[in-house]
Amino acid sequence: MKAIKSTGILLLSEILSKGIAFLLVPLYSYVVEPKDFGKVAILQLLFTVFFLIVSFSLNSTFDKYFFDKKFKSTDSLFSTILVVQILAVVFGSSLYILLGSKLALFLEIKNALYLDLVFYTSIIAVFFPVVNSYLICSGQIKRAGIYAILISMIRSTMALVLVLNMKDKILAIILANFVEHLSGLILSLPYYFKRLKLRLIEKNKIRELIVYSCLFFPSSFSVFFVKFSDRLMIQYFLNYQSLGIYSMGTRLVNIPGQFISTINKNFTPQMYQSISENDTTKLNQLIRLFLAAIFVLLSGLILFSKELFLIIGGDYKNAYTVFIILSLCSYFNGYNLIIQPVKTYFKKYVKYKSMIWVSIGVINIILNIIFIPIYGINGAAAVTAISYLISIPFSYYYARKAYKENYYLKWFMLSSVVLFSISLLLIFYKNENSILEFFIRLLSFLLIGYIFLSKLIDIREWSIKLHSFIIKKIRAFNNNKK
């Protein structure tokens, strides 16, 4: 029940925060031209690259070492990680000074302010993820949720004001992104000031932290290529107009993607804890809950995708097929996230994760070169989905080697076939709109969702626990009022 409770709090905060952000997507589809939206996509891609370099995967490193308890205290872990953060920022800044102008020339970014602002944003963005990891690991779930909502409200308000009032829509969007991460930095500063103590820096552990983070880097960068190389290829083989339409599809898929990421953020520390305590029952429960949650979420999203696109501007309607394919891809990625903590907990298996994603990254680039010129943006989406699917058998194999547990591969395969079939039907019959067709989709969602949930979790047991939890909270609220 603890897993449900803590995940529920985070998920509720994520629904509120991302729900606010989601309201901006239809606005973008009406006031931002596809060509400009394509340029924003390239700049956001560069932000991801910069962030990968200067963040150095230190939030994942924090999760691992928090439960390993190799440091004398949490303050010691915070203080030592900050040293590595500073080194990573210095390294990233040096690279940008040397290569920034060449990068702008290569990507035909004529306004240098865009690129500079994106890089500065990546630097201020590195601090809050570590604080967020600390809050989740230490059980301060409500505070993490409140911060997520607050940051999203600030970003969304700024984006709304700037996009509606600035003539340069590209600058408006990246400025809003800057304000978002500046807010995160301001919220994280009290934690650093409180816990940072120079005398607690464990110099002998700095090298260990760097080595562990380095093990993550090839994997993180390869995952980035699998997720984002399609944008570069579309811009190269097609144009910014096509990239803008494709990016609208990815922006919409990012909403459920963030929900899955939130579930993963909460489950990963709990999985680490379960493994450290050798609690296979809890680990098994977490895997089943995660798989059930992402299946229900994405099956609903795919089945009701037609309704979603009713609020999207006409210039972006061609993103529908991209959205369906990438939603299916999110399910494949979700299963990867389920089994990933097992590999990252055991240091010797981190390298296998990296090897898998480096190989998949190469395959992804080759397939994009073949498919995009022929099939356009739909081909790019299909390649991304295929790349994630190819990684599953290898990820499963090494997860089993690292820690023998039931990862419900058969259920994942069966559910993937179901989602693939639904996706094909919706793509082929995307122009079919009737009340009967809508009710068929609604009944399909309820039936498939019920069957899947009943097989993975005890619905009756969880209903009773949830009912008891709600009654307890209502009584506590009434008592406080008295």
* 95-140 confidence digits (pLDDT tens): 888 888 888 887 778 888 898 999 999 999 988 888 887 777 777 7
Averaged over 267-276, what is the pLDDT? 74
Helix 34-55 vs helix 203-237: angle between axes, to the nearest 10 degrees?
160
For residue 446, tell me if it sits in a domain. no
For residue 11, tell me if it sits in a domain. yes
For residue 456, tell me if it sits in a domain. no
For residue 355, tell me if it sits in a domain. yes
For residue 77, tell me if it sits in a domain. yes
For residue 168, tell me if it sits in a domain. yes
Averaged over 20-35, what is the pLDDT? 80
Mean pLDDT of the chain: 81
> Which domain covers residue 355, as residue numbers?
2-433
CA distance 182 to 187: 9
CA distance 112 to 46: 13
How many other C-beta atoms are found inside a 10 Å radius of the C-beta of residue 463?
10
For residue 17, tell me if it sits in a domain. yes
Per-residue pLDDT at 479: 62
Averaged over 399-421, what is the pLDDT? 85
CA distance 125 to 48: 11
Q: Which residues lie below 8 Å from residue 293, measured CB to CB, with a gap of 6+?
A: 7, 263
CA distance 305 to 312: 11
Its pTM stands at 0.77
Can you list the pairs that 180-184 forms with residues at least 24 positions away whose Cβ atoms lie under 8 Å? Answer: 180/151, 180/152, 180/154, 180/155, 181/121, 181/124, 181/125, 181/128, 182/124, 183/150, 183/151, 183/154, 183/155, 184/124, 184/125, 184/127, 184/128, 184/147, 184/151
Work out whether the CA dihedral 225, 59, 284, 444 comes out positive or negative. negative
Tokens of 53: 């370099």
Query: pLDDT tens digit string along 47-91?
Result: 888 888 888 777 667 766 776 666 667 778 778 888 888 888 898
Q: Say whether pLDDT at 20 is over 70.
A: no
Share of the chain above pLDDT 70, in %: 84
Query: pLDDT tens digit string along 227-257?
Result: 777 888 898 888 888 999 998 888 888 777 7
Find where tokens 């500046």 sit: 182
Q: Say whether pLDDT at 365 is over 60.
A: yes
For residue 482, tell me if it sits in a domain. no
Query: pLDDT tens digit string along 150-180?
Result: 887 888 888 888 988 888 988 999 999 999 8
Q: Say whether pLDDT at 5 is over 70.
A: no
**Confidence band, pLDDT 50/70/90 cuts, at residue 284:** confident
**Confidence band, pLDDT 50/70/90 cuts, at residue 373:** very high
Per-residue pLDDT at 208: 78
The number of distinct structural domains making up the chain is 1
